[in-house]
Amino acid sequence: IDFRALFSMFLLVSLSLQSDDAPASHLGKIDKSSFSQQTLMELFLDGITKNKNIICGDCDTPKPVAEWRGVTTNADGEVTMFRTIYCALFGTPQLQWLPESVTKLDMTKNLLTGTLDLSVLPESLECLVLADNKFSGEIALESLHQRMCVLNLGMNQLSGSLKLESLPDNLKELYLDFNSFSGTVCLTNLPASMISLSINDNKLHGGVDLTRLPDGLASLFLGTNGFCGETDFSQLPFQTLKLFAVDHTQMSGTVVVPQSCAQLEIMAEDSQVVVIQEHN
């Protein structure tokens, strides 16, 4: 594939879409419908600088995409899943070229770098796992498409603030732990469908309102942050909550665990939170 020719064609198309009065968000939007699945996936991997051959074979003459390591296709030959972990991949995947048919992308435990523009992801994508890499910069969670159900960006070098008030309604699991996010967070308008939220081991601070969490929340990890102040724990979703971590924070208050919730594990060491098990 001649990437220079493709890039030149894309640049011409991009420039033709631009005008002085066009909204900035629509400038240069990629139309992928004219590209084959093979071409799109090769472009997606174009930014991978080392060990790409593990995925596609010879980098100059890649194997048919259906034969690539980690690729799953449907009956029409469209890529629906791409999972490549522990492959020591270096470089930056070009997320804007992911085929619109892809529903799951998992590139955990590689050495990937660069920033993450979540707005360019295909609307079909339901699960994105890029944990344990070296991605950096800020992310705009509010730009996630509505179909997103699982987002795992834990163990990277991401930074900036976290806007959790406008997450997709379908988002069930969000893992942003072990990064460098900072600022305060709002947990009062999380998606009703959410079952797991991990924002531990960051640089977040301030008070946390836990009175309006999703009814079905099963795990909430807030530990190893600068969260502080007297906190109301009385409205925790005790009937579904299994794991709750406020360890290594400056939060204070008392968690009274109902007798019927013996399955709940609470981590509160190195904080001022007191845990009391309710008895008859």
192 domain-assigned: yes
CATH number at residue 266: 3.80.10.10
Q: Which domain holds residue 156?
A: 114-277
* Euclidean distance between CA atoms 29 and 17, whole angstroms: 8
Helix (H) or strand (E) holding 53: helix 53-56
Place of tokens 């109902």: 258
148 domain-assigned: yes
Of the two residues 85 and 9, the one the predictor is more confident about is 85
Residues in a beta bridge with 75: none
What's the confidence (pLDDT) of residue 279? 80
Q: pLDDT of 124-153, one tens digit each?
A: 999 999 999 999 999 999 999 999 999 999
Domain total in the chain: 1
Sheet strands side by side (includes 90-91)? 48-50, 90-91, 111-112
67 domain-assigned: no
Q: What percentage of the chain carries pLDDT values higher than 70?
A: 89
* Euclidean distance between CA atoms 6 and 157, whole angstroms: 32
Tokens of 109: 């435990």
211 domain-assigned: yes
Helix (H) or strand (E) holding 11: helix 3-17
Q: pLDDT of 80-97, one tens digit each?
A: 999 999 999 999 999 999
For 105, the 3-state DSSP assignment is strand
* Euclidean distance between CA atoms 30 and 212, whole angstroms: 39
* Euclidean distance between CA atoms 261 and 239, whole angstroms: 7
Range of weakest confidence among 28-32, 137-141, 171-175, 235-239? 28-32
* Euclidean distance between CA atoms 126 and 232, whole angstroms: 34
pTM assigned to the model: 0.90
188 domain-assigned: yes
What's the confidence (pLDDT) of residue 19? 36
What's the confidence (pLDDT) of residue 15? 35
What's the confidence (pLDDT) of residue 33? 85
How sure is the predictor about 12, in pLDDT bands with cuts at 50, 70 and 90?
Answer: very low
Of the two residues 180 and 279, the one the predictor is more confident about is 180
25 domain-assigned: no
Mean pLDDT score of the chain: 91
Place of tokens 């930014």: 47
- How far lies 96's CA from each of 2, 62, 142, 182, 199, in Å? 18, 20, 17, 27, 26
Q: Are 84 and 107 in contact (CB under 8 A)?
A: yes
Segment 92-117 shows an average pLDDT of 98
Could you tell me what percentage of the chain is helix, strand and coil, using 3-state DSSP and rounding each to the nearest 5?
15, 25, 60
64 domain-assigned: no
Place of tokens 């705009």: 140
106 domain-assigned: no
